[in-house]
Amino acid sequence: MSGRPGVLIVLLALLVVSSLGVVYSKHQGRKLFVELQALGEARDSMDIEWGQLQLEQSTLTMQGKIERAARERLGMVSLTTDRMVIVRP
């Protein structure tokens, strides 16, 4: 009978330690889930920005192609102030 309370105390201590381990692991899991959600939002934001940058790049490339075609095929030049004529109503 004298050995039984010692076993109960050891079992109780193991129960408390394992309970604390479960609580800690649940907390870590929730913390990691919150971080995962934040990283997902950051990824979505970066995907939107990437799409906008690709659109901007294609627009700038298209303007360069149009300007080059205007110069080469049509012989157009940029307007200078000495060739500019202002018409007033």
Q: Give the chain's length.
A: 89
Q: Is the pTM of this model over 0.75?
A: no
User: What is the residue type of 18?
Assistant: S
Task: Kindly write down the DSSP assignment for every residue of 25-82, as one continuous string.
Answer: HHHHHHHHHHHHHHHHHHHHHHHHHHHHHHHHHHHHHHHHHHHHHHHHTT------GG
Give the tens place of pLDDT for each residue, 18-45. Answer: 999 999 999 999 999 999 999 999 999 9
Confidence of residue 1 (pLDDT cuts 50, 70, 90): very low
